[in-house]
């Protein structure tokens, strides 16, 4: 409690369910909080969008809040391993709070501050981001804000996670320079091709000033993704094919050892038969103690029987 009896902001309960536990980061689009889902018992990330004003009194803020709520709800339909999972959207004082999967790791922006990536690693990240974008486009969502800060690399697994599906502020003038497609900079003309343009910018930032000879097929791909006209850019399928070719074939899986059956106890193993030719296992003796009938001799093919007969005749001569 604070001196005036109020709970600190990072202990606030959102939607009667999500208890804020600390600030993860802030930017032009809002603040992301770490929170605990008090019903599900898991940690989540909760985004508090930054609106132009108070939705209770400002029409523009109400319009933006409505759009963000609608797009966040739509984002719950995006299903891909590299797309952040949106769990819930709750409204507090007219502001839609977006509840998402909490990814433990660092952003690509933080990684690139330490230096560029090898082209193969950049292609791996690009292929994962492209898969998430294709999943979003398939349900009618355009990301509009593909940039290194919105790409997370999960600690321990290296999983690539693209965040903020259609729930950024949508203002091109507030996005980092170099990541906004020309049609977006000139107006609200965002479409799937705009996301691919931004993906090309992300890949170029990832490899830095790499020697064009080291980029291989990535070099021409990046040039084509930055075409001024959306129709001149390669589509998602072609981009995926080039990235796959750059990565090469997937490594063969490691062989899985097959558990060996436990060795039988020698004391309990039956005596081996006197004949070297394996035969059927004798039936157990009946209860009366009578000896079991001898097992029938194994059938042999005629030529085999003739060979055995000749061999025994030779021994007797």
By annotation, the residues acting in catalysis are: 145
Report the DSSP pairing between strands 43-49 and 18-27: unpaired
Put the strands of the sheet holding 30-37 in their side by side order: 13-14, 18-27, 30-37, 43-49, 95-101, 86-92
Helices assigned H by DSSP within 177-301: 182-185, 192-207, 212-215, 218-225, 236-247
Phi, psi of 83 (to 5 degrees): -110, 130
Q: Which residues contact 268 (CB under 8 A, 6 or more apart)?
A: none
Cβ atoms < 10 Å from Cβ of 98? 26
CA-angle at 89, arms to 64 and 29, nearest 5° = 45
Distance of CA 156 to the CA centre of its chain: 13
Taking the C-alpha atoms of residue 99 and residue 105, their distance in angstroms, rounded to an integer, is 18
Taking the C-alpha atoms of residue 294 and residue 306, their distance in angstroms, rounded to an integer, is 24
Distance of CA 276 to the CA centre of its chain: 58
Whether the Cβ atoms of residue 192 and residue 142 lie closer than 8 Å to each other: yes
Taking the C-alpha atoms of residue 307 and residue 265, their distance in angstroms, rounded to an integer, is 38
Specify the residue for token string 């259609």: 166
Whether the Cβ atoms of residue 173 and residue 187 lie closer than 8 Å to each other: no
From the list 114, 166, 164, 121, the residue with the least C-alpha distance to 140 is 166
């Amino acid at each position: 409690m604070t001196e005036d009896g109020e709970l600190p902001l990072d202990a606030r309960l959102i939607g009667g369910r999500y208890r804020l536990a600390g600030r993860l980061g802030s930017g032009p689009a809002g603040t992301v909080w770490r929170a605990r889902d008090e019903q599900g018992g898991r940690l989540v990330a909760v985004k508090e969008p930054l609106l132009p004003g108070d939705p209770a009194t400002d029409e523009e803020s109400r319009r933006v809040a409505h759009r963000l709520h609608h797009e966040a709800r739509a984002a719950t339909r995006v299903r891909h391993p590299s797309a952040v999972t949106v769990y819930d959207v709750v409204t507090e004082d007219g502001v839609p709070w977006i509840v998402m999967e909490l990814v433990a790791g660092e952003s690509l922006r933080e990684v690139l501050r330490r230096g560029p990536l090898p082209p193969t690693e950049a292609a791996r990240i690009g292929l994962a981001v492209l898969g998430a974008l294709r999943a979003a486009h398939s349900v009618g969502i355009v990301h509009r804000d593909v940039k290194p800060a919105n790409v997370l690399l999960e600690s321990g697994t290296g999983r690539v996670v693209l965040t903020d599906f259609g729930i950024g502020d949508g203002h091109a003038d507030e996005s980092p320079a170099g990541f906004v497609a020309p049609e977006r900079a000139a107006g609200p003309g965002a479409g799937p091709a705009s996301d691919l343009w931004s993906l090309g910018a992300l890949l170029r930032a990832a490899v830095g000033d790499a020697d064009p000879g080291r980029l291989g097929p990535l070099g021409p791909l990046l040039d084509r993704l930055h075409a001024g006209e959306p129709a001149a850019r390669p589509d998602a399928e072609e981009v995926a094919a080039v990235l796959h070719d750059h990565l090469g074939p997937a490594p063969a899986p490691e062989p899985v050892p097959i558990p060996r059956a436990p060795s039988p106890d020698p004391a309990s193993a039956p005596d081996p038969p006197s004949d070297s030719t394996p035969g059927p296992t004798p039936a157990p003796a009946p209860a009366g103690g009578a000896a079991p009938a001898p097992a029938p001799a194994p059938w042999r093919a005629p030529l085999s029987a003739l060979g055995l007969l000749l061999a025994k005749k030779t021994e007797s001569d």
